[in-house]
């Protein structure tokens, strides 16, 4: 087993991985940009190394600087977390070339799944269902038009070399296709340095369902069931749950087998996620494979009792998976909400500033994976996610109630958050009836506004009285003496009491 691991990330995932290392008796090295000096992950780590200015391109995306930091601190392995360099095959190769262990899949698997058109071809060859599409290396607008007509509108234009919701356009009519392709190409070039795009049949009212897979270096490959991630804004997930209310046991088994086949097709090891799009009749098709740990991995941990972060480390150290597929099962229902510092009513714009208070909810079945605490700040340079709130309950209905209650008990002051919005989604009759799709937000809460925050008159009166009492002078005759002790608690009019506030 490793003695020291460098965590090449920041925020809540860095905190999560540092804690996993410490539970295993492994020292953890953090890296940080100038904007993250003193951040929670740097305070929790055994060592912290400055790697550059705030811009990710000058810090968290500098693989050479990160590898040098690992070598200098005596780390034996690097865990990339998610985002940044986690799906960068060149970085994975460079880590191994430096004599270090990359806690993730082989670079060959990252490359195979990194180009979406090539991944589609691989999956088709492996017998995994794929969405009807058109995936040329080069094509004219006329060829795209002919292909779209053959596939049938609406079609989705997608970036060949990326993911995360970037470089995507949905086209409903032929006269929109050329402009959609041009826009998708520009966004893909800016995001991934690769302007290639391809077409897929657009599954209307689709459900986004993904399967967690694990594979060790001894040929064992298995899945840890599904996560439904259909509640999204701008192609970004905000609420995930497991089990999916759409799947029957038979469909679940078929999708699990397809996920395992996908992992085997690319010689996969470590943790990964195979993503599918399904229609409302549970017909499913391969979307992509994320060759890393997912943001939403905690809900899988909750229902399976498996610690994915620790297993990633054990697999990278050469250990066998300690269980077989038949040993795994789902117990209860788990939901995760991503808590963002953002103004939903203003179009989900990021909200920055100091965290004056972060009081996390507590109770049975409640877990918080946070990247900030009271006194920290949300800056302009990185994703504004504050924390992931996760709950586990006996069934879906109870899990929704528990999550609603936990969101209500989560106090974050100093920045605007999306928690009231998340509560309204959870309370919506369509969500509670599991009538969901990737269009849920656009269809049901597109014009959401912050609930009226006016305080009741009684609260305002009480606040005014308290302020008035605090401003009053202490009577000179308090305690029955003209020279009474002005420092005595009995001489105060501000509601002070012994043993409390």
Please say whether the dihedral angle defined by the alpha carbons of residues 193, 198, 200 and 205, taken in this order, is positive or negative.
Answer: positive
End-to-end CA distance of the chain: give it in Å, rounded.
50
The answer to whether 339 touches 351, Cβ cutoff 8 Å, is no
From 55, 100, 107, 109, select the one nearest 79 (Cα to Cα): 100
The answer to whether 386 touches 378, Cβ cutoff 8 Å, is yes
CA distance 28 to 8: 11
Q: Which residues are catalytic?
A: 292
Q: Which two tokens stand for residue 495?
A: 């509601």
- Strand 333-340 to 357-359 pairing: unpaired
Phi-psi region of 375 (alpha: psi -120 to 50; beta: other; left: phi over 0): left
CA distance 274 to 225: 11
Strand partners, 240: 336
CA 101 distance to own-chain centroid: 24
From 295, 321, 309, select the one nearest 217 (Cα to Cα): 321
Q: Of all helices (H) and strands (E), which one includes residue 240? A: strand 236-242
CA distance 202 to 154: 5
Helix, strand and coil content of the chain, in percent to the nearest 5, comes to 35, 25, 40
Alpha carbon dihedral 449, 453, 456, 457, in 10-degree steps, equals: -110
The answer to whether 73 touches 8, Cβ cutoff 8 Å, is no
Please give the full DSSP string across 209-223, using - where no structure is assigned. Answer: EEEEEEE-TTS-EEE
Please say whether the dihedral angle defined by the alpha carbons of residues 222, 225, 308 and 96, taken in this order, is positive or negative.
Answer: positive
């Amino acid at each position: 087993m490793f003695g020291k691991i460098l965590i090449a990330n920041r925020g809540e995932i860095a905190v999560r991985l540092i804690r996993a290392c410490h539970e295993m008796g492994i020292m953890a090295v953090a890296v940080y940009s100038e904007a993250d000096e003193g951040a929670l992950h740097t305070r929790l780590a055994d060592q912290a190394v400055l790697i550059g200015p705030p811009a990710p391109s000058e810090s968290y995306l500098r693989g050479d600087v990160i590898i040098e930091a690992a070598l200098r601190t005596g780390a034996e392995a690097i865990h990339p977390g998610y985002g940044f360099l986690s799906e960068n095959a060149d970085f994975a190769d460079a880590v191994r070339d430096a004599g270090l262990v990359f806690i993730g899949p082989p670079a060959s698997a990252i490359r195979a799944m990194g180009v979406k058109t090539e991944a589609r071809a691989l999956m088709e060859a492996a017998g995994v269902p794929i969405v009807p599409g058109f995936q040329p290396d080069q094509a004219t607008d006329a060829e795209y038009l002919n292909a779209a007509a053959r596939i049938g509108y609406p079609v989705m234009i997608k970036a060949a070399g990326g993911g995360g919701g970037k470089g995507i356009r949905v086209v409903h009519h032929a006269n929109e296709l050329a402009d959609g392709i041009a826009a998708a190409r520009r966004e893909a070039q800016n995001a991934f340095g690769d302007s290639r795009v391809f077409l897929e049949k657009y599954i209307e009212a689709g459900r986004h369902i993904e399967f967690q897979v694990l594979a060790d270096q001894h040929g064992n490959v298995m899945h840890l069931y599904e996560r439904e991630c259909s509640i999204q804004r701008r192609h970004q997930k905000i609420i995930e749950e497991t089990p999916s209310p759409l799947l029957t046991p038979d469909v679940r088994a078929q999708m699990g087998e397809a996920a395992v086949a996908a992992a085997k097709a690319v010689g996969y090891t470590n943790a990964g996620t195979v993503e599918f799009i399904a229609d409302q009749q549970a017909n499913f098709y391969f979307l992509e494979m994320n060759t890393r740990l997912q943001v939403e991995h905690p809900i899988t941990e909750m229902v399976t009792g498996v610690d994915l972060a620790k297993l990633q480390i054990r697999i990278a150290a050469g250990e066998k998976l300690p269980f077989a597929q038949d040993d795994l099962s789902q117990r209860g229902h788990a939901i995760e909400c991503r808590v963002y510092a953002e103004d939903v009513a203003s179009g989900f714009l990021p909200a920055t500033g100091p965290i004056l208070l972060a009081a996390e909810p507590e109770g049975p079945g409640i877990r918080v994976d946070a990247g900030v605490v009271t006194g920290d700040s949300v800056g302009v340079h990185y994703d504004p996610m504050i924390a992931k709130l996760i709950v586990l309950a006996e069934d879906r209905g109870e899990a929704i109630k528990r999550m609603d209650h936990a969101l209500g008990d989560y106090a974050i002051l100093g920045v605007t958050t999306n928690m009231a919005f998340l509560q309204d989604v959870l309370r919506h009759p369509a969500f509670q009836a599991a009538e969901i799709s990737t269009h849920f937000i656009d269809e049901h809460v597109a014009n959401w506004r912050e609930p009226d925050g006016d305080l009741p008159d009684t609260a305002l009166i009480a606040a005014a009285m308290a302020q008035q009492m605090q401003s009053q002078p202490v009577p000179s005759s308090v305690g029955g003496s003209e020279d009474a002790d002005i420092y005595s608690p009995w001489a105060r009019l501000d509601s002070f009491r012994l043993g409390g506030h």
